[in-house]
């Protein structure tokens, strides 16, 4: 079933606070083979001008994927997740994510389209600190194959 | 900002050092755990083929992360990447062997702005085919 265009602009409540840990950053950096010590060594990070160890540029997906999952599971969206592939991804960083950050992720539906029998859902997840400082924005296009 | 590449030293056409990454099934499992993306198409041959894929495929986000390394290694600061946009064109099939798939990342500066930012256009291939149909990173240079 094609997605309802009226869904565009729908926003969801902010996620619970996600506290960024040094070990999580180190684990993520290891998983992508990023060996720059600014990801693992607070001294090296400070020497490079950062307040704390900083996350690799795509780390935000750890928070934004589950935030976008809230949209996918919305009964009005109800995409069949087994048919969903990731079509496109964009990150806009206002600053790096670093250890100790307490972040919340707020999803919004930016666009819905049907192309060639596929449903395309564009979600934007805005990541801020719990105090509201903008950190990054992650936009994903999810493609549900053969559902439109 | 601690980028080590200065805007004054960069011109349109500047090429980044090429990187090649080996991606095995073990890497997919590790990335699944680190990212929280446990979609079975990244670890179950059965599920992957049932949904019409050639077999287990790499997380697009892993390919995206590997491609970013070419940019952050060149610029000298992972925090210098301010904007990053990719389109996933073709899945990276990862065979269940000790070699896995090879992903090659090439980059070229496509624009340099007055604000000291450069746009890097990336070409990411596996098995001779482009796997990202678009990959652009904007970095803040020193």
Q: What is the pLDDT of residues B51-95, one digit of tens each?
A: 889 999 999 999 999 999 999 999 999 999 999 999 999 999 999
A145 in reach of chain B (CB within 8 A): yes
Of residues B21, B81, B88, nearest to A57 (C-beta): B81
Q: Taking CB atoms and an 8 Å limit, are A57 and B60 in contact across chains?
A: no
Q: What is the pLDDT of residues B90-125, one digit of tens each?
A: 999 999 999 999 999 999 999 999 899 999 999 999
Q: Taking CB atoms and an 8 Å limit, are B33 and A27 in contact across chains?
A: yes
Return the percentage of chain A with pLDDT > 70, whole number.
98
Return the percentage of chain A with pLDDT > 90, whole number.
82
Q: Taking CB atoms and an 8 Å limit, are A30 and B34 in contact across chains?
A: yes
Of residues A54, A85, A88, nearest to B79 (C-beta): A54
Contacts of A49 (CB under 8 A, 6+ apart): B1, B2
B72 in reach of chain A (CB within 8 A): yes
Q: Taking CB atoms and an 8 Å limit, are B72 and A34 in contact across chains?
A: yes
Q: Report the gap between the CA of B111 and the closest CA in chain A (Å).
A: 18
Q: Per 3-state DSSP, what percentage of chain B is helix, strand, and coil (rounded to 5)?
A: 30, 35, 35
Distances from the Cα of A54 to the Cαs of B71, B77, B102, in angstroms? 16, 10, 27
Q: How much is the ipTM here?
A: 0.96
Structural domains in chain B, sorted by start: 19-23+59-140 (3.10.129.10)
Q: Taking CB atoms and an 8 Å limit, are B88 and A85 in contact across chains?
A: yes
B21 in reach of chain A (CB within 8 A): yes
Q: Per 3-state DSSP, what percentage of chain A is helix, strand, and coil (rounded to 5)?
A: 25, 35, 40
Q: What is the pLDDT of residues A47-102, one digit of tens each?
A: 999 999 999 999 999 999 989 989 988 999 988 777 788 999 999 999 999 999 99
Closest to A93 (Cα-Cα) out of B142, B1, B114: B1
A93 in reach of chain B (CB within 8 A): yes
Q: Taking CB atoms and an 8 Å limit, are A31 and B33 in contact across chains?
A: yes
pTM for the model stands at 0.96
- Are B52 and B97 contacting, i.e. CB atoms less than 8 angstroms apart? no
* Rounded distance between C-alpha atoms, residue B32 and residue A21, angstroms: 18
Q: For residue B23, what pLDDT is reported?
A: 98
Q: For residue B2, what pLDDT is reported?
A: 67
């Amino acid at each position: 079933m094609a997605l309802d265009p009226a869904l565009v602009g729908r926003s969801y409540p902010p996620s619970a606070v996600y506290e960024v840990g040094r070990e999580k950053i180190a684990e993520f950096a290891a998983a992508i083979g990023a060996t720059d010590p600014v990801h693992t060594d607070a001294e090296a990070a400070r020497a490079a001008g950062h307040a704390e160890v900083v996350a690799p540029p795509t780390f935000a997906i750890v928070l934004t994927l589950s935030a976008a999952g809230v949209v996918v599971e919305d009964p009005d969206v109800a995409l069949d997740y087994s048919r969903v592939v990731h079509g496109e991804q964009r990150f806009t960083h206002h600053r790096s994510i670093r250890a100790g950050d307490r972040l919340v992720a707020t999803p919004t539906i930016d666009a819905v389209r049907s192309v060639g029998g596929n449903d395309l859902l564009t979600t934007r997840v805005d990541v801020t600190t719990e105090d509201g400082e903008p950190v990054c924005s992650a936009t994903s296009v999810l493609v549900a194959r053969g559902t439109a | 900002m601690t980028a080590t590449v200065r805007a004054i030293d960069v011109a349109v056409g500047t090429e980044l050092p090429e990187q090649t990454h080996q991606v095995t099934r073990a890497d997919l499992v590790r990335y699944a755990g680190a990212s929280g993306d446990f979609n079975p198409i990244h670890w179950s041959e059965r599920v992957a083929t049932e949904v019409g894929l050639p077999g287990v495929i790499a997380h697009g986000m892993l390919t995206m992360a590997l491609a970013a390394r070419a940019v952050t290694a060149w610029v000298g600061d992972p925090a210098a990447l301010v904007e990053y946009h990719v389109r996933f064109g073709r899945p990276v099939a990862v065979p269940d062997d000790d070699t896995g798939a090879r992903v090659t990342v090439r980059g070229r500066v496509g624009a340099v702005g007055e604000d000291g930012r450069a746009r890097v256009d990336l070409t990411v291939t596996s098995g001779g085919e482009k796997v990202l149909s678009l990959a652009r990173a904007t970095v803040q240079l020193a």
